[in-house]
Every structure is written in C-alpha cells, then in structure tokens.
Structure 1
Amino acid sequence: MAPHSQEVTSQARCPDGIGLVLLDLDGTVLRGSSMVSRPVRDALLRCHNAGIALAVSSGRPYRMVPRVIRRLGAMDYYVCTNGSAVSDGSGRRIFSQGMTPELALKIMGLVAHLQPGWNAFVNDRGYAEFRNHSYMLGAISSGDMRSSGVSLMVFLRFVLSGLTGTGFRDVLSIRRVVSRAKRVDKLGCSFSSSGRADEAQRILLESGLAEVARMNARELEITTSGVDKGSGAAWLGRHLGVGKERMVAFGDGANDLPLTSAIGCFVAMGNADKQVKAQADDVCPAVSDDGVAQWLNAWLDEHDL
C-alpha cells in the first residue's frame, strides 16, 4: 500500500486500539549510534504507562542493543536478529528460531566463490571477519551505503564496542565459529561490489534455504527460510494474545519490510528508503524530527491516553 502522506495522519491508526508497538533502532528510534531524544523517550514511556506493550525489532542481538534503550524502563520485549530470537525485558530468551550450524555452513558455501566477508550472531554475540569490516568501509567511502548521516558512526560503534564485549568480536574465520555453535541466529555478509551482492542474493533466494534482506548495495542479512522480523512479531503477538490488527511497527530499512504483512499498521520513517515508504501503511517524520514520538503522541492524544 502507498503511504498516506509525509505528515502524521489519523488514518491507518488501529481504531480498535494499539496493544503492541515494535520499534526498529537505527534510523528509527536512535539518532546517531546510541542517542534517544527526549521526545522519543517520553513518548515511549507514555505508551508503556498506558499499558501498551513495547518491543525492540532489530537486526542486532540483545547484547548489541545500546544500554540507553535497555535502561529506558519502557521495553517489554526484544525481537532480535531479524526475528530469530525473542527475549523478555530482562534479556532472558523466550523463543528461538535460528538455523543449525549445518544449514549455516551450506548457505555460506553457496556463495563462497563470490568471496564475501562474513559476520555471524551466535548466543547474542556478534562475530566478524576483517574482510567484512573492510568491505563495509569500502561501501561507505564509495557511497554504496545509504547516506543517512549515521552509517559510519553506527558501523564504527559496532566494531569498537567489541573492546567492551558489547559489539563484534573479530575472528579469522566465521566458518569456525559457526561449526562450533549449537544454533546460529543470523548470518551477514558484505561484498567487494554491488554486482557480487546481486549474484549472492539471487543464489540464496533461488536456493529456498534462506530469507535475505538487502541492507545496502553490498550488504546482505540472512536468516533461515521463514524467519524474519515479521515472523518474530507474529510470534510475540500470539504470545501476548494481541491480534495483528492491534500491532504497529516503525522502521526504515529493507529488513523491516516483512513486518508489513504481519501487523496491522507499518509506519515508515521519513528518512526511510523509497521502497520501504512505498509499502508502508503510513509515513511519519524523519528520525531527526522525532517521527516516532510525533506519531505515537498524536494517537495517544486522539484516544485520551
């Protein structure tokens, strides 16, 4: 569906009430790498105090969710690694749908000839090869990563935070990490060119083994078939007894698109990619204008909450 407008509207607003709000992080709730503005923080707490369940919906594992989010006192659940893991507000995992090591290695083998740089998320920890970092820096310098003004900051935070145990751990071989894991929550890979990423995406989709989110011209995020942010949101809705028509989600990237069929109202950020806006039910102002806060406060005001 096409978005209603760039303004906050009263349409597509869950007329029967909102029971669950799912929130992407980078480019949606977070400004820069780890800042939540006061208006967004206050709006989230207002929802929480009104009895609306709030959940992070992120490609990150729980350990890589910024402390500023975990310490808000508003998040009830965390749908992480593109839907493969769901944790409660304390970080205790309550649902998993990751891939087996055997499947992960098979997926990696399908595109090995394209020489990707790999990262993997296992047990809420992120691991990355140096080649992955190198390719991503190359994508930033060439302009292949979406120019949101935060891509470099977010990337560097992920890498440097490995020193504190909250970010990527550098390893020589992701295959070795994967082969020793019990389950793999998510794979990620980057390439030396957009052409190689195109080919990898085609191969993986045709295999039927994986869901693939194209994050930018050179980067893919990979989960097992049938697992994405939409499936994670659907599980949480069933867990809470909240119907999809009472679920709202905010996002700005390709890995948010599966939410559009899993919930009642998907709201694209004003800074989102065109393809994301084109499939959204509504569009709110950009993260720099506190779009999440504007949308939620307007809905809460309309319902005297």
Structure 2
Amino acid sequence: MSEALTDWVPRLVALDIDGTLLVPDPRGASVEEVTEPVRRAVLAAAASGAHVVLASGRAPLSMAGIADALGLTELVRDRTGERLHVVASNGSVVFRHAPMEVVEEVTFDATDAVRVVLGHVPGAAVAVEEHGIGYRVNRLFPEGELDGEMIVTELADMRLDAVSRVIIRDPDSTSEDFVHLAKQLGLQGTNYFIGWTAWLDLAPDGVSKASGLEWVCADLGLDRSDVLAIGDGRNDIEMLGWAGHGVAMGQAPEVVRSAADEVAPPVQDDGAAAVLGRWFA
C-alpha cells in the first residue's frame, strides 16, 4: 500500500492516544491535553467522512473522555447521527459512544498468568477494569496513572477468571525489566503488552488493537486496506502491520518503527497532524 498512496484515501483512521495524540511527561504519563494542530487534524478527518477510531490500551471510561475532549463525539453525532466506534483495552473491548455501549468484549482466565508474574514481582500492583467506574486494585497505583475510581480489593476477590484485561505495575522496575520478564515467563495462552514504564497489560490470546479494528471494519463493511493507523507503542505493532498503511511516531522504539510503513515526526512536533494533513484539509 505504501507505494500506491497517491490515489489512496483512508476510509478509516485508527489513532493511538498516548504518545500519538497526547504528549507524555517525563514520567511516561500523558498530559491530558491535545495540541490545537492535532485536534484540528483529527476533526478534519472525521468531517471529511472518514471513520475516526481511537484505539488504545486505555479503559473505555478514559477513552470516552478523550473522545469528548477532542470534540470528536459531538462532531460525529452532529454530522451522521451515529456514535463513534472505539477500540479499548488493547482490543479486548469495542464500544460505541455516546452513550457508551460495549458491543464486543473478549474475556479470558488470567488467574494463572497473574500468579506467575507475581511470583517474580511480588510487590507489584494489579488492576482489573470495572467498565464505566474505574478499576479494582490490590494496592493503589501511582497518582494519575489510572482513570476513574480505584477500589482496593483483595486479589482473591478480583474474579480474575473472566476479565478482558489485567494491568500489572511495578514502580520499582523499568519497561526493559518487564520486556525481559515477559520473555522469560512465556505466559502461554495469554497475550501481553508492555508500556513505556514497568507496566504489563495481560490480554486474551490473539487479541490486539488489530483484532478490535478488524471487528469494527466488519461492522462498517470496510477492509483492512482502507485503514490508516498511527501509533507509537509496543502495543501498536500488530495494528501498524495489519493496517493498509501503518505510521509509527518518530519517538517510537525501533521495534515499533520497523513494523510501520513510514515514520512520522515525533508527538512533540505534532506528527499525527502532519500525517493526517496529507489527506484531510
């Protein structure tokens, strides 16, 4: 697809959030503000008729807030009378907004995987999503890292046998520590994604942003060749390789950039706006 972009126009634009639309602070957390050039570019794509789909590891509650803050929810509703498709929890959850309605959710039994990981990092915090509310956690996460309410719950009471996503966070480790740990453990039957910090997302096997977007494309009658995807993290690798044209942000790790068809300017330079401006005025 990258060799034939002259006549190609994306019909669906899949956008990661953190590090793509939002600029990360030095701790790795994102500043909850989209720059004006990026906001205008996203809205221009939606106004043109392209389906703009936010695709993130974030929970639905957080992603709905980002869509609202962008003005995307209102624009799509006013233009089409329809609701946004949003791919959340690294593809485990697809919902329409607003109002929020989960239309597809893949769950798995994370009990053994959590037990194995905690055997190596016993002091780590564990979180399980409570859609529309926040998270159940065995201990509090660092301030600002989770949206919504944190409900402190004993690990044995978290009902890990049917979850769409589990977060494991160890402030005393690094992302590279978790990369090494995940390779050591294998985690058979479980997919995993590693963030910028020591943050490990456990997900159902075979589930990724790409699988969530595949569901959206089927619902809309589109093909993966119609999709422009932009992202910057390890959890974007499947999506960038799956899409008709995958774009990695300039600050992305090499393993992410190598999975994409092209590399955009970094998020600090409004790279997503530069890419979107090629097709959408």
Secondary structure of the residue aligned to 1:60 is coil
Change (3 A) 1:168 1:270: farther
1:89 to 52, 77, 97: 97
Aligned to 2:144: 157
Aligned to 1:23: 15
Deviation of 1:298 (Å): 1.5
Aligned to 1:223: 203
Deviation string for 1:223-250 (max 9, x for gaps)? 0101111111111111111111110111
Q: Which has the higher helix share?
A: 1
Partner of 2:241: 261
Q: Determine the C-alpha separation between the residues in 2 that align with 1:250 and 1:211.
A: 21
Selected match of 2:157 from 152, 169, 176: 176
The whole-number CA distance in structure 2 between the counterparts of 1:47 and 1:286 is: 20
Letter in structure 2 aligned against 1:82: N
Alpha-carbon separation, structure 2, partners of 1:126 and 1:13: 42
Q: Aligned-residue CA RMSD in angstroms?
A: 2.6
Moved more, 34-43 or 70-79: 70-79
The structure with higher relative contact order (CA 8 Å, sep 6+) is 1
Residue 61 (structure 1) aligns with: 59
**Superimposed CA distance per residue, residues 120-142 of structure 1 (whole angstroms, 9 cap, x where no aligned partner):** 22334323333754xxxxxxxxx
Name the CA shift for 1:18/1:121 in 2 (closer, same or farther; >3 Å): same
Unaligned ranges ≥5, structure 1: 1-9, 134-155, 160-165
User: What is the TM-score of this pair, normalised by structure 2?
Assistant: 0.82
- Residue 208 of structure 1: SS of its match in structure 2? coil
Hey, what's the Cα distance between the residues in 1 that align with 2:206 and 2:254? 24
Give, in whole Å, the separation in 1 of the partners of 2:179 and 2:273. 36
The equivalent position to 1:39 in structure 2, one of 30, 37, 40, is 37
Is 1:249 the counterpart of 2:236 in the alignment?
no
1:4-60 deviations in Å (ceiling 9; x for gaps): xxxxxx856484321111111111111342101111111111111111001110111
Are the aligned partners of 1:33 and 1:157 in contact in 2 as well (CA < 8 Å)? no
State how many pairs are aligned.
259
Q: Contact between 2:60 and 2:131, CA under 8 Å: does it hold in 1?
A: no
Q: Are 2:140 and 2:150, in contact at CA under 8 Å, matched by a contact in 1?
A: no
Aligned to 2:139: 130
Which amino acid is 1:88 matched to?
Answer: R
1:256 partner SS: helix
Counterpart AA for 2:42: L
Match of residue 258 from structure 2: 278
Q: TM-score, normalised by structure 1?
A: 0.76
Distance 1:259 1:14, change over 3 A: farther
Which amino acid counterpart does residue 63 of structure 2 have in structure 1?
A: V
* 1:57–1:83 contact (8 Å) kept in structure 2: yes
**SS of the residue aligned with 2:20?**
coil
- The residue matched to 1:188 in structure 2 has which SS? strand
Which residue matches 1:296?
276
Gaps of 5+ in 2: 24-29, 74-83
Corresponding residue for 2:214? 234
How far has the Cα of 1:299 moved from its partner?
2.1
Whole-Å Cα distance in 2 between the matches of residues 112 and 48 of structure 1? Answer: 43
Deviation at 1:106, TM superposition (A): 2.1
Which stretches of structure 1, 4 residues or longer, exceed 4 Å deviation after superposition?
none
Q: Distance in 1 between matches of 2:156 and 2:199?
A: 18
Which deviations, in whole Å up to 9, do the C-alpha atoms of 1:213-268 show, x marking residues without a partner? Answer: 12246321110101111111111111111111110111111111111332111111
